[in-house]
Amino acid sequence: MAELSKNDEREATPNVSEVDVVDAHSETEAVAAVEAPVDRGEPILQIRGLKKHFPLTQGILFKRQVGAVKAVDGVSFDLYQGETLGIVGESGCGKSTVAKLLMNLEQATAGEIFYKGQDITRLSGRALKAVRRNIQMVFQDPYTSLNPRMTVGDIIGEPFDIHPEVAPKGDRRRKVQELLDVVGLNPEYVNRYPHQFSGGQRQRIGIARGLALNPEVIICDEPVSALDVSVQAQVINLMEKLQDEFDLSYIFIAHDLSIVRHISDRVGVMYLGKVVEIGSDEQIYDHPTHPYTQALLSAVPQPDPEAREHRERIILTGDVPSPANPPSGCSFRTRCWKAEARCAEETPLLAVPQRFQGGDTPANHESACHFAEEKDVVHAA
Ligand SMILES: Nc1ncnc2c1ncn2[C@@H]1O[C@H](COP(=O)(O)OP(=O)(O)OP(=O)(O)O)[C@@H](O)[C@H]1O
Ligand code: SF4
Ligand SMILES: [Mg+2]
């Protein structure tokens, strides 16, 4: 992956949040969706039919459930060793809930998460602790995710309290200093407090903490969104360097389509708790077949005036439906310009559309739309 320059970054900031998304799958659909691409080896993570429904309750003394917020509603995808899978989608589509489910910070309502073939939703105690060591997280906000009363050394070394086998007591300071060095911070800063660092440096501390237990997978939930544009590129470049050095697999969640394209090998687009389209960065950005993805891409600000002039801006109308009451059939249908009667009756599967199956075309990737077709939209910068 090429280095992202500060200029790239400046052109790369545009966001997705004004647009909406689509999608839908049942558990059966979800399974159909996961036909592993060739030549990537075995997936390190396999997510199948993952759901998280938060109960909606009524009453003060006697609470009763009156519904559920379907934050994640049947998500399936694979993560391969050493790759970066980007996940994009507007606010509230369930990205962070997926991250929390993968980290076991939330318990799944249904579905499975296989780590090297083992379903971690069914593990507990020591077995779960052993697996969890291999899956770590980097959070969005380096200001609130670091305890202001702890020194950097204590913050980075805290995971060793739970896994002392990684760094025995006498060896911790050296190990923490090594981690500071790895993320480009002065090892002498070990006794400083978070407020003595800039935003970018704090995110480096967050990354060092994420690396402490030598994980194989890092879930990054908007890791650069809270940073100044000028600092985002440095942190992204660091993450790419660390990926090569430690053979890490990343799930990279973000709003910013350009940054996601830069760092990702494959990209999944989410709408209302579901993945609506997934494929390589080229397939998703240059050959999207789902109307929601096409709308998202058409909304990316275009720095090139000529391209700007020729682009087709797809304006979606209507509000994003509530995840407590998603539309029947395709959940994007209330905002989709291509919707037909079938879209209200039949939930589209996340699968390679029949007409593209086996074809030597970049449209040959998974898309949850009955009428999936390529559309020439303006590409992200
Ligand atoms: N603990 C909870 N209880 C009830 N509803 C929740 C809870 N956590 C999240 N939700 C709801 O689930 C949906 C998905 O939330 P989530 O935070 O996963 O979205 P997101 O894609 O990460 O959004 P953003 O881009 O704003 O971070 C939202 O409608 C949210 O209000
Ligand atoms: S055409 Fe139908 S199935 Fe496809 S995204 Fe639009 S509403 Fe959904
Ligand atoms: Mg979030």
Bridge partners of 73? 51
DSSP assigned state of 73: E
Q: How close is the Cα of 69 to the center of ligand 1, in Å?
A: 9
Q: Please check the confidence at residue 1 and state whether its pLDDT lies above 50.
A: no
Say if ligand 2 is within 6 A of residue 255 CB: no
Percent pLDDT > 70 in the chain is 88
Helix 199-211 and helix 229-246: axis angle, to 10°? 20
DSSP assigned state of 109: S
Say if ligand 2 is within 6 A of residue 336 CB: yes
Mean pLDDT lowest among 79-88, 239-248, 369-378: 369-378
- For residues 231-260, give the mean pLDDT: 94
Which residues form ligand 1's pocket by a CB distance below 6 Å? 54, 69, 71, 89, 91-97, 323
Q: What pLDDT digit, counting tens, does each position of 302-331 carry?
A: 777 777 777 778 888 888 899 999 999 999
Helix (H) or strand (E) holding 181: helix 172-182
User: pTM of the entire structure?
Assistant: 0.88
DSSP assigned state of 108: -
Q: Please check the confidence at residue 84 and state whether its pLDDT lies above 70.
A: yes
CA-336 nearest atom, ligand 2: 6
Beta strands 64-80 and 249-253 are unpaired
**In this structure, are residues 53 and 70 in contact, taking their beta carbons and an 8 Å threshold?**
yes
Ligand number, closest to the Cα atom of 375:
2
Ligand number, closest to the Cα atom of 72:
1
CA-94 nearest atom, ligand 1: 18
Q: Whose CA is nearest to atom 8 of ligand 1?
A: 97
Q: Which of 20, 22, 342, 367 most suits a substitution to test ligand 2, by most atoms within 8 Å of the C-beta? A: 22
